[in-house]
Amino acid sequence: MTDPAVTTATPPPGGTVAAPDAKRNSLVISLLLVSAFIVILNETIMGVALPHLMTDLSITATAAQWLTTAFMLTMAVVIPITGFLLQRFHTRPVFMAAMSLFSIGTFIAAIAPGFEVLIVGRVVQATGTAIMMPLLMTTVMTLVPPASRGKTMGNISIVISVAPAIGPTISGLILSVLDWRWMFILVLPIALGGLFLGAARIQNVTVPSKAPLDVVSVVLSAFGFGGLVYGLSNLGEHATGSAAAGLVPLGIGLVAIALFIWRQVSLQRSDRALLDLRTFTSRTFTFSIVMLAISMMALFGTLILLPIYMQNVLGLQALETGLLLLPGGLTMGLLAPFVGRFYDRFGPTVLLVPGSIIVSGAFWFMTMLSADTPFWWVLVAHVALSFGLAFLFTPLFTSALGSLRPKLYSHGSAVVGTVQQLAGAAGTALFVMVMSSQAASLMNTGVSEVAATAAGIQSAFMYGAIISLFAIPVAFFIRRPAVSADGENAAPLMAH
């Protein structure tokens, strides 16, 4: 995954590169890419394993769902703080902290004697994961010149889109022959290998600046983003029960987010914001974030629904489900580098417009899934969706962050990571809520559970198809960021 075009940009104030060293920069980015792939993979690896865990640990479905919810909740709380961490500390210690936390969390999960300790392990894992992705994006934006960022961002797209997509496949393969603890036992030596290799080879490529930590912002961020993810997750889990379990934390989260935004706007005037929201003064960044949110809702909503459909409606096993989802994940992985090179040559519009149309078409196709649909229809629909998403992620990441001035890279990366988690939680909650409500309503009229579940999934994909339509017009407003003669982003805070 090395990029020979990687070079060192002109050092902006408060956080960029030291001496030019292309080989060093390529090595740093490659190590970060591999490490990020390992940690992101764990975000979706638990989905297929939940039935096994419910049996082995004697827990309910709602409790088991916390293994995924707690991970997303921790990510949502920690990611907004990474903007401060990346400004304040060198590359190497931030990397070491991220991989150490992930490795410790993996070890705790592997030896967990019960549910409570397993939750602790997942939370510690998520803390390391939350730091890794913004670190990778900020480092790439700092080291890679604008003309070749698409190629490197293509590799990041592999990490962000393929790792979650193949998580269920790997989980299914492991669970078909081994105990659930092996999902962590097999990952642990890989994580430790990345940690030790990074300790030996990774170098500092940024210059820290004095960044004050506003404790009030941290508290508001935790209640705001944590409340939103927790509320959305509860809405999905308790779709057929009382809505209070989701609406109360959702309301608290929205109020805290409003106060958080107000405080950041006040603090950023003196460059003291925890998360600098001047990133949104770039029109390209704003439109890219909107489209990224829609895309992440589609990805995570589909990842939760298709396994349910294939196992509960079509009667497939966990391993068969994982294998059917594998071609889609491989499609995104194989296309990402080519999409990156295409972006470098032609810009984002020629990728985003057809990509958004393909994604929407795949969703409309999935609204026709029923209890009698052959499994190869599901395969075709998922590959088509993956094909479209592959056209979206690289241009969106590159255009969004490329439209910012270097001083805001760390904050932009934190915003991107936060939006990913919130959109993923929203997509999962919406799809599960629609499916569960529709299925429960039909079962009350005497419809069989299989037929009711199939109809509920059809309804959920209908909502997804309608939402996907909004991404198509947005694609036309995203342009390649302007670059000045010295290779830096020109007029980063103006509308592009």
* Domains annotated on the chain, with CATH: 22-475 (1.20.1250.20)
Give the pLDDT mean for 306-332.
82
The pLDDT assigned to 273 comes to 84
Run of H or E including 300: helix 283-308
Give the pLDDT mean for 283-289.
92
Give the pLDDT mean for 427-455.
84
| Higher per-residue pLDDT: 492 or 420 | 420
Give the integer Cα–Cα distance in Å for 21 and 163: 30
The pLDDT assigned to 323 comes to 81
Q: Residue 428: is its pLDDT beyond 60?
A: yes
The pLDDT assigned to 489 comes to 52
**pTM for the complete prediction?**
0.78
Q: Is the dihedral of CA 28, 31, 33, 39 positive or negative?
A: negative
The pLDDT assigned to 127 comes to 92
Q: What is the largest CA-CA distance in the chain?
A: 71
The pLDDT assigned to 288 comes to 93
Contact 362, 385 (CB under 8 A): yes
The pLDDT assigned to 239 comes to 54
3-class secondary structure, 180: coil
| Higher per-residue pLDDT: 482 or 151 | 151
Q: How far is CA 295 from CA 135, 159, 299, 302, 330, in A?
A: 22, 15, 6, 11, 18
Most confident option among 22-36, 56-70, 246-260, 345-359:
345-359
| Higher per-residue pLDDT: 215 or 60 | 215
The pLDDT assigned to 11 comes to 43
The pLDDT assigned to 243 comes to 58
Contact 71, 125 (CB under 8 A): yes
Q: Residue 485: which pLDDT band, with cuts at 50, 70 and 90?
A: very low
Q: Residue 47: which pLDDT band, with cuts at 50, 70 and 90?
A: low
Q: What counts of helices (H) and strands (E) characterise the chain?
A: 19, 0
The pLDDT tens digits of the residues spanning 456-465 come to 889 889 988 8
Return the closest-CA partner of residue 52 out of 111, 105, 115. Answer: 115
Give the integer Cα–Cα distance in Å for 143 and 28: 10
The pLDDT tens digits of the residues spanning 192-214 come to 998 998 888 877 766 777 767 88
Q: Residue 406: which pLDDT band, with cuts at 50, 70 and 90?
A: confident
> In the predicted model, what is the mean pLDDT of the chain?
81
